[in-house]
Amino acid sequence: MAIEHLHVVTYSRNVFIPVTNMCRNHCAYCGFRHSPDDPQSFIIQPAHVEEILQKGAQSGCTEALFTFGERPEEDAAYVRRLSAIGYDNTLDYLLDLCRMAINAGLLPHCNPGVLSYEELASLKPLNASMGLMLETTAHVQAHDNSPGKVPGKRIESIANAGKLKIPFTTGLLVGIGETRSDRLESLRTIAELHRQYGHIQEVIIQNFTPKPGTPMAGYEPPSFEEMLWTVELAKEVLPEDIAVQVPPNLISPRVLIEHGASDLGGISTQTIDHINPEHKWPTVEELEQKVGSSIVLRERLAIYPQYIHREWFSEDIRPLVKKLADDKGYKRTT
């Protein structure tokens, strides 16, 4: 379907902060995870976070994306390393990092894996939004050694976020062994969660990219046609108030926009995509050239306009939301 009028496509400017690359899951496609005894494993230090936040704020970023491996505390070596920087658990450290981001003028968005209702409730006041990729409702071989990727656990966590009225991001990872029927079922599950709780602001349709040294290093990524089919399906299945997001550093977005994508996610001028470090973020200027003159890019915050209007945010971040948002709920430009 050709574009016959201007399309408005949104994005945010963020800093990508990997809190730790230690994780209980062993996903066959993941190049980010490391064991605590691996020299490449890390817990990011507070001073480093502060430096990233300050540079992000100075460059016009409005979002601090905190992501990391799931439940790293299940490994005693990780707990010892966390204790060395003064914390008994990752949640307390994450809460302090969120406060640090707010003080720097950036809205936190945390993506820490499967959480309980109580953990989500603890994080809610200091987050503009949160996220957890559903990936798939299917049981795929790539998740055989990943207890946090059991579909029911992820669905429960997404539902709990809805009960707490947390503006939420979820999505599909395409090409990890699921079928088209599985993708349809995954999107229907997300749609039903949103109809029940009204909290899902965006669904990412992300293409698997093979990583060297992983069990799936030799697997073929999904074709562009497969991604196009999935974006069209998402547009058809999901409620109209959910944005369909595609990652512009992993796939060319223009044709996908023509077929239903309406958001390009977070774009960072200061940090790499730590999950896909081989894929550089495009600049906003490069994106404008890629999408063409018939598509207008509009900057948003980590919390979508409809949730700003509904005031789905806490008093802790109210002053910052009001400072950063214009009357329509997008990023203020003056």
Give the least confident one: 17-26, 146-155, 264-273: 264-273
- In a 13 Å sphere around the CA of 306, the CA atoms on its Cβ side amount to 13
Tens of pLDDT along 290-309?
888 789 999 999 999 999 99
Q: pLDDT band for 139, please (50, 70, 90 cuts).
A: very high
Whether residue 154 contacts residue 135, with contact meaning beta carbons closer than 8 Å, is answered with yes
Nearest Cα residue to 303 out of 131, 67, 114, 53: 131
The overall average pLDDT reported for the chain is 95
In 143-183, where do the E strands start and end? 168-174
pTM for the structure as a whole? 0.95
For residues 237 and 11, what is the distance between their CA atoms, to the nearest angstrom? 22
Lowest mean pLDDT, pick from 130-134, 215-219, 269-273: 269-273
CA angle 220, 143, 116 (to 5 degrees): 135
Reading the block at residue 95, the tokens are 């809460």
Give the pLDDT confidence score for residue 290 in this predicted structure. Answer: 84
Give me the pLDDT at residue 120, please.
98
Two structure tokens written together for 184: 């349809």
| Per-residue buried b or exposed e for 271-295, using 16+ beta carbons within 10 Å of the residue's own CB | bebebbeeeebbebeebeeebeeeb
Q: Which one-letter DSSP state was computed for residue 73?
A: G
What digits encode the pLDDT tens for the residues 81-134? 999 999 999 999 999 999 999 999 999 999 999 999 999 999 999 999 999 999
Instruction: State the average pLDDT over residues 206-232.
Output: 97
Q: Give, as one character, the DSSP assignment of residue 58.
A: H
The pLDDT confidence band at residue 6, using thresholds 50, 70 and 90, is: low
* Amino acid making up residue 311: E
Task: Give tens-digit pLDDT for 19-60.
Answer: 999 999 999 999 999 998 899 999 999 999 999 999 999 999
Written as one string, the DSSP assignment of 6-25 is -EEEEEEEEEEEE-B---S-
Domains and CATH numbers, the chain: 7-324 (3.20.20.70)
* Across 310-314, average pLDDT: 98
Residue 177 predicted with pLDDT over 60: yes
